[in-house]
């Protein structure tokens, strides 16, 4: 039978922690453990009771805490209808309860972990037997830490009677599936799970931690299509980045927590210019379902005011720090992209001056990425062409941990890139069927992605130029829309005239050395070409270290440079670089060493590379008076000649010298795989063989006469010197040409009588 009573305040703070209605022992006996409180017609609330000592609560009154009064919309001294309540049905015994948890003081933030498993044990110890209703707020004092506010989210029961019926052969009628209810009674074995409230600063850990109420957002943008990435030739690199940096972020936080793993916080993309580093970083930002990426050019961080550069770094991480404190593991991902990161992250102590700005900026960045107060909701992507300049502390695990070289694309990658940049032309039928992308991919060895894009643009401009009439004024063909078609000839024109790869073959330099071609004047030349081809195949082969170095030595004007250029051209390696002393006139020793080092570093980026080092003694600043030479350059060359290329790379080094003895004294000969001797012409047959290949100078009778005059005499002349004399003979009067030619040979000491030679 219902009685009318009045609502009152909870007598003490200690009693309010029990989450029960506080009643007087004179009003209720010990057998009444639950009451039904009716605040208005149709509004009923079930409370557990707590009897208190006389004097703490007035008879005829029931004490409620502030949370209880807010939930039940009670006011002090309000008349309420009370009657005893009994849990008689077994279906009202809870098998599980889900609670949303937050600090009672909402502004409280802490990084201290709250173990949900221990919280579940303490909760049942304090509240076993408590009557709870969905939506009911509870106050929970966990291990005398900060007070927690709990809200009942879901309640589930299993009908014991139905379960028994199923066990006794009750058939389909005995369902043991848990069902949700609106209220129920806690038992000591009820399963308790906690969910962190949205916006809470609580750091909840443990197996009793339930899923958040909001649907977990996938880290990968649901509208993203990997086929539309537009990153050609970088499939392997992108897969490696995805595996290292994003695989852990795809899994739910609970799984990552069970593994005890931390997310990767930094990626460094390095490699030659134009290979797609910025494009990949941009696409990563688009692919991820994260905050809008912050893109920063390295020099933008630096500021002329003291301390402002470090403040700029702190501002980049401010949003991520605030969200980490507010949401903890549920925080979204913040991406910060540093372009030209080497501008601000040079090795500490390497920059001159007294300000030390670069050093403090590096220190600030190190502290933010993985310092004492580390963040787990950031991803820093750095890009640079100069990985060697970056401070090594930034490259350790936990900071820019994933370091990926974005190198020149291979043939398949080049075809992919060309397909990407010609896709729209194909779609609108502006690409002629005679354009074979596979052929273009094979031709464009050592082209970077940016250079391939430039090749397509150049071909398009060539095609458009055909439809422009340049008379007194520039006019466009009215039917240009229909006529415009990019053909194979347009691509070939762009390839030959417009776009040259920065890391490509030094074709012009080689052609300059081979202006007269290679004149096969005898067996020595044939043997040299044959041996050179063998060493080229050795460099190309899979066995060995991947490094073959050959020295071509011989007297001046013997044609060593032309032979080296011919071998470089015959190798068909996609990367050929000529290191010549004439390019380094006026260089200091250190500048010369850096330039030579750059040639080798560039060569290591290509799968097959060839470096031609011409006139090596001139490169070493050798002078016979003294003698003098650059020891710094010598040591640099010795190191680089012996250093094997990275795994999977092949390097052929061809060097020329006219001072074999000097290199032997410098202990350089041992650094070469092989030393090939390039001799001068030494017989009449050699001389005539060269003259026969210049038919416009001497006739058949003149050649016979020359052979007769020089046969048996000592000949010692370099092919280059001989060709110069032949060019001089072209300018002479044909009547006296032969005699003057022989006279010039004698004057140059190229022909001597055998007796004089002895």
Inside any domain, residue 210: no
Residue ending a domain, choose from 471, 498, 525: 498
Inside any domain, residue 483: yes
Cα–Cα distance for residue pair 344/417, rounded to 1 Å: 32
**3-state secondary structure string, 98-141?**
EEEEEECCCCCEEEEEEEHHHHHHHHHHHHCCCEEECCCEEEEE
Inside any domain, residue 758: no
Q: Is the pLDDT of residue 750 over 70?
A: yes
Q: Do residues 38 and 125 share a domain?
A: no
Coil/strand/helix, residue 703: helix
Q: How confident is the model at residue 572 (pLDDT cuts 50, 70, 90)?
A: confident
Indicate the average pLDDT of the chain: 81
Beta bridge partners of 4: 81
| More confident position, 97 or 201 | 97
Question: Which one, of 426, 367, 358, lies nearest residue 399 by Cα?
Answer: 367
Cα–Cα distance for residue pair 481/163, rounded to 1 Å: 78
Cα–Cα distance for residue pair 245/402, rounded to 1 Å: 7
Question: Which one, of 720, 675, 462, lies nearest residue 549 by Cα?
Answer: 675
Angle (CA) 297-303-309 rounded to 5° is 80
pTM: 0.60
Question: Which one, of 737, 716, 715, lies nearest residue 726 by Cα?
Answer: 737
Yes or no: say if 24 and 59 are a contact pair by the CB < 8 Å rule. yes
- Quick one: what percent of the chain has pLDDT higher than 90? 14
For the segment 262-272, what is each residue's pLDDT rounded down to a tens digit?
778 888 888 87
Q: Do residues 642 and 666 share a domain?
A: yes
Q: Do residues 388 and 436 share a domain?
A: no
Contacts of 238 (CB under 8 A, 6+ apart): 229, 231, 280
Q: Do residues 306 and 290 share a domain?
A: yes
Q: Do residues 480 and 568 share a domain?
A: no
Q: Do residues 490 and 583 share a domain?
A: no
Q: Is the pLDDT of residue 289 over 70?
A: no
Inside any domain, residue 169: no
For the segment 619-677, what is each residue's pLDDT rounded down to a tens digit?
988 888 877 888 999 999 999 999 988 888 889 999 999 999 999 988 889 899 999 99
Inside any domain, residue 217: no
Cα–Cα distance for residue pair 725/509, rounded to 1 Å: 24
Neighbours of 325 (CB within 10 A): 16
- Quick one: what percent of the chain has pLDDT higher than 70? 86
Angle between helices 449-465 and 411-421 (to 10 degrees): 40
Structural domain of 432 = 411-498
Place of tokens 């053909």: 487
| Residue-by-residue DSSP string for 446-480 | T--HHHHHHHHHHHHHHHHHTTEEESSSEEE-TTH
Coil/strand/helix, residue 563: helix
Domain total in the chain? 6
Question: Which one, of 278, 396, 386, 280, lies nearest residue 339 by Cα?
Answer: 278
Q: Do residues 569 and 665 share a domain?
A: yes
- Give backbone dihedrals phi and psi of 217, rounded to 5 degrees, phi first: -85, 135
- Give backbone dihedrals phi and psi of 675, rounded to 5 degrees, phi first: -120, 120
- Reading the block at residue 229, the tokens are 């990435």
Half-sphere CA count of 439, side-chain side, radius 13 A:
9
Q: Do residues 323 and 346 share a domain?
A: yes
Cα–Cα distance for residue pair 714/581, rounded to 1 Å: 34
Q: Do residues 487 and 516 share a domain?
A: no
Ranking 48-62, 86-100, 485-499, 744-758 by mean pLDDT, the lowest is 744-758
Which pLDDT score, from 0 to 100, does residue 758 have? 39
Question: Which one, of 83, 183, 95, lies nearest residue 135 by Cα?
Answer: 183
For the segment 728-742, what is each residue's pLDDT rounded down to a tens digit?
888 888 888 888 888
Residue ending a domain, choose from 498, 518, 538: 498
Inside any domain, residue 53: yes
Yes or no: say if 314 and 295 are a contact pair by the CB < 8 Å rule. no
Q: Do residues 531 and 609 share a domain?
A: yes
- Give backbone dihedrals phi and psi of 73, rounded to 5 degrees, phi first: 50, 55
Which pLDDT score, from 0 to 100, does residue 754 have? 52
Yes or no: say if 179 and 114 are a contact pair by the CB < 8 Å rule. no
Residue ending a domain, choose from 498, 519, 552: 498
Which pLDDT score, from 0 to 100, does residue 29 have? 84
Cα dihedral across residues 130, 135, 136, 139: positive or negative: positive
Tell me how far CA of residue 692 lies from CA of 329, 702, 742, in angstroms. Answer: 84, 11, 16
- CATH of residue 543's domain is 3.40.50.300
Q: Do residues 384 and 458 share a domain?
A: no
> Ranked by mean pLDDT, which of 66-80, 94-108, 250-264, 462-476 comes out on top?
66-80
- Reading the block at residue 652, the tokens are 């052929």
C-alpha dihedral, 699 to 705 to 710 to 715, nearest 10°: 0
Yes or no: say if 228 and 139 are a contact pair by the CB < 8 Å rule. no
Yes or no: say if 575 and 617 are a contact pair by the CB < 8 Å rule. no
- CATH of residue 134's domain is 3.10.330.10
Place of tokens 């793993």: 261
Q: How confident is the model at residue 384 (pLDDT cuts 50, 70, 90)?
A: confident
Inside any domain, residue 322: yes
- CATH of residue 454's domain is 1.10.8.60
Q: How confident is the model at residue 550 (pLDDT cuts 50, 70, 90)?
A: very high
DSSP category for residue 723: H
Q: How confident is the model at residue 314 (pLDDT cuts 50, 70, 90)?
A: confident
Is residue 692 reached through a cis peptide bond, with omega within 30 degrees of 0 on the bond before it? no
Q: Do residues 622 and 637 share a domain?
A: yes
Which pLDDT score, from 0 to 100, does residue 420 have? 84
Q: How confident is the model at residue 151 (pLDDT cuts 50, 70, 90)?
A: very high
Cα–Cα distance for residue pair 365/456, rounded to 1 Å: 40
Inside any domain, residue 216: no
Cα–Cα distance for residue pair 682/433, rounded to 1 Å: 57
């Amino acid at each position: 039978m219902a009685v009318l009573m009045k609502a009152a305040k909870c007598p003490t703070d200690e009693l309010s922690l029990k989450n029960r209605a506080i009643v007087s022992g004179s009003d209720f006996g010990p057998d009444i453990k639950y009451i039904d409180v009716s605040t208005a017609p149709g509004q009923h609330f079930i409370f557990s009771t707590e009897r208190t000592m006389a004097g703490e609560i007035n008879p005829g009154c029931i004490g409620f805490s502030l949370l209880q009064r807010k939930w039940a919309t009670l006011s002090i001294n309000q008349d309420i209808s009370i009657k005893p309540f009994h849990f008689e049905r077994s279906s009202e015994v809870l098998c599980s309860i889900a609670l949303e948890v937050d600090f009672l003081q909402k502004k409280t933030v802490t990084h201290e972990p709250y173990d949900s498993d221990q919280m579940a044990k303490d909760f049942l110890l304090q509240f076993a037997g408590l009557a709870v209703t969905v939506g009911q707020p509870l106050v929970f004092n966990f291990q005398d830490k900060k007070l927690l506010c709990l809200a009942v989210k879901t309640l589930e029961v299993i009908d014991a009677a139905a379960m028994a019926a199923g066990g006794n052969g009750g058939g389909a009628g005995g369902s043991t599936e848990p069902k949700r209810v609106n209220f129920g009674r806690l038992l000591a074995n009820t399963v308790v799970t906690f969910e962190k409230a949205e916006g809470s600063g609580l750091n909840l850990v443990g197996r009793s931690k339930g899923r958040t109420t909001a649907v977990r957002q996938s880290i990968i943008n649901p509208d993203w299509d990997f086929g539309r990435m537009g990153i050609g030739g970088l499939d392997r690199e992108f897969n490696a980045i995805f595996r290292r940096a994003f695989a852990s972020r795809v899994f739910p936080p609970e799984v990552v927590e069970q593994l005890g793993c931390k997310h990767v916080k930094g990626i460094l993309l390095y490699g030659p210019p134009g290979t797609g580093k910025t494009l990949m970083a941009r696409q990563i930002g688009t692919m991820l379902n994260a905050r809008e990426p912050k893109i920063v050019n390295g020099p933008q961080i630096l500021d002329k005011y003291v301390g402002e550069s470090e403040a700029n770094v702190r501002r980049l991480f401010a949003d991520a720090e605030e969200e980490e404190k507010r949401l903890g593991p549920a925080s979204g991902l913040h991406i910060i992209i540093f372009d030209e990161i080497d501008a601000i992250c040079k090795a500490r102590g390497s920059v001159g001056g007294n300000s030390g700005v670069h050093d403090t900026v590096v220190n600030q960045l190190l502290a933010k990425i993985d310092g004492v107060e580390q963040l787990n909701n950031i991803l820093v992507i750095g890009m640079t062409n100069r990985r060697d300049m970056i401070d090594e502390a930034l490259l350790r695990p936990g900071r820019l941990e994933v370091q990926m070289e974005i190198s020149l694309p291979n043939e398949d990658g080049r075809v992919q890139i060309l397909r990407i940049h010609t896709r729209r032309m194909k779609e609108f039928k502006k690409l002629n069927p005679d354009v074979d992308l596979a052929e273009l991919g094979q031709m464009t060895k050592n082209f970077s992605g940016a250079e391939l894009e430039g090749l397509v643009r150049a071909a398009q401009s060539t095609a458009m130029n055909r439809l422009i009439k340049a008379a007194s004024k520039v006019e466009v063909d009215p039917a240009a829309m229909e006529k415009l078609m990019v053909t194979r000839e347009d691509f070939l024109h762009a390839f030959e005239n417009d776009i040259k790869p920065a890391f490509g073959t030094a074709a012009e330099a080689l052609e300059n050395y081979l202006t007269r071609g290679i004149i096969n004047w005898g067996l020595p030349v044939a043997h040299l070409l044959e041996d050179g081809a063998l060493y080229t195949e050795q460099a190309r082969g899979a066995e060995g270290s991947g490094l073959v170095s050959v020295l071509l030595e011989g007297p001046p004007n013997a044609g060593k440079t032309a032979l080296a250029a011919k071998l470089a051209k015959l190798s068909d390696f996609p990367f050929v670089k000529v290191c010549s002393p004439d390019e380094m006139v006026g260089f200091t020793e250190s500048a010369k060493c850096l330039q030579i080092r750059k040639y080798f570093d560039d060569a290591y980026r290509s799968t097959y590379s060839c470096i031609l080092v011409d006139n090596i003694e001139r490169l070493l600043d050798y002078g016979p008076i003294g003698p003098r030479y650059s020891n710094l350059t010598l040591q640099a060359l010795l190191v680089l000649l012996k250093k094997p290329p990275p795994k999977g790379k092949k390097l052929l080094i061809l060097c020329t010298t006219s001072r074999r003895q000097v290199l032997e004294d410098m202990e350089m000969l041992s650094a070469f795989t092989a030393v090939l001797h390039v001799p001068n012409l030494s017989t009449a047959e050699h001389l005539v063989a060269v003259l026969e290949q210049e038919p416009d100078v001497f006739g058949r009778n003149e050649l016979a006469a020359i052979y007769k005059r020089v046969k048996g005499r000592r000949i010692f002349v370099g092919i280059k010197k001989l060709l110069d004399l032949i060019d001089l003979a072209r300018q002479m009067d044909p009547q006296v040409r032969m005699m003057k030619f022989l006279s010039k040979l004698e004057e140059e000491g190229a022909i001597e009588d055998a007796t004089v030679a002895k």
